[in-house]
Amino acid sequence: MASLTRMSPIFPVHDLNASLAHYERLGFVTREYEGIYGFATRDGIEIHLGTVPHDDDRTAAAYLYVEDSDDLARVWRATGADVRGPEDTEWGQHEGVVIDPDGNVIRFGSPMGT
């Protein structure tokens, strides 16, 4: 059976330039492809950004495993990003959420106690 090697969520965005700027503020390296698609990469993580019409209200989500969710939340909050939490969960993760300008969600977490 073939191995899986990587996965990248595709987030629908209305304004590609604004979205690329948002992810740059979060510490991602971004690049644009033909004005309709973008990539945000950081620490081996890649998020694809695909433009959709303004009347298209769909959103997407991804889960990001991190070393220290409190530290990441602090850094991202300092950029003005919409960060919620983190807080302890009953399943043993210390989780937060960051919401991008288009409503896409990255839930991020680290093991409790780290």
pLDDT, one tens digit per residue, over 47-106 is 999 999 999 999 999 999 999 999 999 999 999 999 999 999 999 999 999 999 999 999
Amino acid letter, 8: S
Amino acid letter, 11: F
pLDDT at 113 over 80: no
Geometric angle at alpha carbon 32, from 24 and 41, rounded to 5°: 45
Q: Given this model, what pLDDT does residue 39 score?
A: 98
CB atoms closer than 10 angstroms to residue 20: 19
Q: How confident is the model at residue 5 (pLDDT cuts 50, 70, 90)?
A: confident
pTM: 0.92
How far is the C-alpha of 22 from the C-alpha of 84, rounded, in Å?
A: 16
Q: How confident is the model at residue 114 (pLDDT cuts 50, 70, 90)?
A: low
Q: How confident is the model at residue 20 (pLDDT cuts 50, 70, 90)?
A: very high
Any idea which architecture 10-111 has in CATH?
Roll (3.10)
CB atoms closer than 10 angstroms to residue 22: 24
Asked if 69 and 109 count as a contact pair (C-beta separation under 8 A), the reply is yes
Asked if 48 and 11 count as a contact pair (C-beta separation under 8 A), the reply is yes
Query: How far, rounded to the nearest angstrom, does the alpha carbon of residue 29 sit from its chain's CA centroid?
Result: 12
pLDDT at 16 over 70: yes
